[in-house]
Structure 1
Amino acid sequence: MKDTIKKYLEKKSIFKTKTFDCSEIAVCIPICNEYPNFMSVLKTLAISCAVANQQVQVVCCVNNKKNCNNEILENNFKMIYELNRILKKENQSEENNSLLKISVLDFTKENSFTEKQGVGWARKITMDYALANGAKVLACLDADTFVDENYVAQLKRFKDEKMEYATMDFYHKRIDDENQNSIQLNSAIQDYEDYIKNHSMNLRNCGTPFFYPALGCVIVCSDKMYAECGGMKNKLAGEDFYFIQEMIKNVINKNPDKISFPIEFLDTQVKPATRFSDRVIFGTGQALKKIVEGETVKYNTFCQEHYLQIKNFINVFNDLNKKNFPLNLQREAKKTCKELYYFLYEDGFFSDWDSIVANNKKSSKKLTVAFHCKFDGLKIIRALHYLQKTMQ
């Protein structure tokens, strides 16, 4: 076993030892209150396995909080019963040659989640379990998300080409009826997709490597990458954003030439459901829920002037780095992108810039990586919110 993975399992993993031979490709899925809808998702995975002729381990973490209502608890019990029934049927088969292997992790009773544990914890459980049992490819999926027929074939390509981290396209399934709620939901999800894809494109145009959409269901990583990044983050929501950020930093630190495009792209598409939810504290489901309840929801879009401040700052650094004058960053930023400068100054961005330059003075590529690791995705989104409030 690789030392990196071994150390992760010893120090950070929920599961420390191997208990069975996991398939090389694992699809890791948190499940809460998803019966019977998840069974349809499972069918799309089974079809995709058959098309690729590739075995896949589907690791299911059925979970709920300790104080959840009886409806959620009963739904989860039905889910566990049905998944175990499929497992039993498979185990009793003489051939037992199903390409879709299921692992059921029950976090509904004594080990149910606390108030501080959410979807990030559930993702970590599934991914730690897959890693501990020998999976080489860890793909995240949501229990409401359907996959294309070539989904597993693309995961196989990820494995065969020894990729470290990849993403893919997404398209929310639209509701196929004409009632007012459905029309509102379809319109809202279109607004959401437009927002997230435009935001991603604008960030890419700024020159930051942190431009990829932060959706859990599009994450695929190698076992080593997962361990090197310290595993999935335990967040009530936004765990995908932080994990993606760590993987991008990992990639560009190992290969500075990948700053422009640090992530591989798989030629497939996942299709999350269009529905409202209160399972996480923010996100698509929450916005859709508010719309159905009659509230007006607008996605927090930024104008081009805000993105231009980000782009100008990155360009200032690149120009100074080429001319070998990176220590002038604070002075030049104040002249070129004044509004952003005040945020960075108040945030302490420049306080250790001289030492960062000193530690990377022998390599302009390493200094570029250090700059982007400091001016990372979280810093940029905080800066955009600041600019939105202060720029008129």
Structure 2
Amino acid sequence: VAATHEQYLQKSASPRLIEVKPHPGLRMVVVIPCHDEPDLVGAIKHLANCDPPLGQAEVIVVINGSQKDLPAVHSQNLHTLGQAKDWLANRDDNWLPIHLLHLPDLPPKHAGVGQARKIGMDEALRRLADVDQAEDGLLVCYDADCRCSANYFTGIESHFAAHRRAPGCSIYFEHPLDAGEWFAHGFGGRAPGQMVFDGIATYELHLRYHVLAQKFIGFPYGFHTIGSAMAVRSWAYVKQGGMNRRQAGEDFYFLQKISWLDQMTELTDVTVNPSPRLSDRVPFGTGKAIGDYVTNGKLATYPPQAYRDAQWLLGQVGALWETGRPNDVPPEAMARFLGEDFTRSVVPEIRVNSGDLDAFRKRFFRW
């Protein structure tokens, strides 16, 4: 493992960014990308008020920008950095070390939330490796516009202690659904209008329906992939090549790769409360969905028949392994989706590279 993490850091990570040595008992690092965020202090203050875990935790904030950003974004980032420094200099209880990284000139080609998460998580891995936690240390993803339950650190710590084989977990989340919940969760500033809250309620229902439908049909990778509500072990992070640099959907693709290692778990007794807000920063996801709802007054979701069609395919895995062909006729929409290449080239390629049904199943679901 030592050689693996060293090779990863040498090949894929930036040079060391934090010179302060980590606490010898460091076991968990929370990484927060921050881009054009007005209330970072509210987020880190909330984390610092959580119950301390048994092992040491710390936070790395990556305040990031690039040459393609408007001057107003760089100005906000500098203002945020100054506010955070002032708060850190004057706080009373500092059980939770918080490191601020200001990276205003990331290459425009890759600048975005994926790159910011990667920079922070790579540095977190390096610091965990400094104290011999390159295998079992925990890398936790959070966002600068979130709040959480007081047991955030203790709950994550206990969950991974109870699930020794789990490479990672998805953490339960709930968006505030009205102004009362907005202020109750500790969000500052003016609350969004009710139309935004209605939009996030609709989008969250879509997400929950989608995951529950996947579980209902027996799909083995049915879990939420919210960037502000996930955690992985450091060995899994290294083994799957670290965080990707996608400018949207980085959380989905990252957890998908982690889930190939072993069974992902769901941490349900800790809650992350992401902020509902409009955003034109990415082409899909929460901010885009709320914008669509505010514009159109509705959101689309997937029809139940789509899951029934997928359930048919899941039921064919055994037959595909044994004979290379399904044992009955696919639903019409599924037949169009699979096409002739499915049994002509896709299934044979998976079969020839699989030694048994279990290996075939894993390869099939990766396809």
TM over 0.5: yes
SS in 2 for 1:250: coil
Residue identity in the other structure for 1:67: K
Q: Counterpart in 1 of 2:360?
A: 367
Q: Counterpart in 1 of 2:37?
A: 34
Hey, what's the Cα distance between the residues in 1 that align with 2:230 and 2:192? 31
Identity %: 24
Stretch moving more, 194-203 or 344-353: 344-353
SS in 2 for 1:99: coil
Deviation at 1:176, TM superposition (A): 1.1
Unaligned runs of 5+ in 1: 252-257, 375-392
Q: Counterpart in 1 of 2:185?
A: none
Deviation at 1:188, TM superposition (A): 0.8
Hey, what's the Cα distance between the residues in 2 that align with 1:350 and 1:98? 62
Unaligned runs of 5+ in 2: 183-189
Q: How many residue pairs end up in the alignment? A: 347
Residue identity in the other structure for 2:315: N
Scaled by the length of structure 2, the TM-score of the pair is 0.85
- CA pair 346-121 structure 1, distance change in 2 beyond 3 A: farther
Residue identity in the other structure for 2:275: A
Deviation at 1:67, TM superposition (A): 2.9
Residue 5 (str. 1) matches residue 1 (str. 2): no
Hey, what's the Cα distance between the residues in 2 that align with 1:181 and 1:58? 28
Residue 146 (str. 1) matches residue 147 (str. 2): yes
Q: Counterpart in 2 of 1:389?
A: none
Q: Counterpart in 2 of 1:247?
A: 258
Deviation at 1:112, TM superposition (A): 3.4
Stretch moving more, 340-349 or 297-306: 340-349
- CA pair 273-346 structure 1, distance change in 2 beyond 3 A: farther
Hey, what's the Cα distance between the residues in 2 that align with 1:175 and 1:202? 27
Hey, what's the Cα distance between the residues in 1 that align with 2:12 and 2:222? 28
Deviation at 1:372, TM superposition (A): 1.3
Scaled by the length of structure 1, the TM-score of the pair is 0.80
Does the CA contact (< 8 Å) of 1:186 and 1:274 recur in 2? yes
* Residue among 216, 225, 230 paired with 2:227: 216
SS in 2 for 1:64: strand
* Residue among 274, 277, 286 paired with 2:276: 274
Does the CA contact (< 8 Å) of 1:140 and 1:217 recur in 2? yes
Does the CA contact (< 8 Å) of 1:49 and 1:99 recur in 2? no
Q: Counterpart in 2 of 1:300?
A: 300
- CA pair 280-17 structure 1, distance change in 2 beyond 3 A: closer
Q: Counterpart in 2 of 1:386?
A: none
- CA pair 281-123 structure 1, distance change in 2 beyond 3 A: same
In terms of fraction of residues, the more helix-rich structure is 1
SS in 2 for 1:48: coil
- CA pair 242-297 structure 1, distance change in 2 beyond 3 A: farther
Hey, what's the Cα distance between the residues in 2 that align with 1:76 and 1:340? 48
Q: Deviations over 1:260-296 (max 9, x none)?
A: xx3343521100011112222222112323444xx20
Does the CA contact (< 8 Å) of 2:29 and 2:59 recur in 1? yes
Deviation at 1:366, TM superposition (A): 1.7
Does the CA contact (< 8 Å) of 1:119 and 1:280 recur in 2? no
Does the CA contact (< 8 Å) of 1:200 and 1:212 recur in 2? yes
RMSD: 2.7
* Residue among 87, 92, 98 paired with 2:94: 98
SS in 1 for 2:106: coil
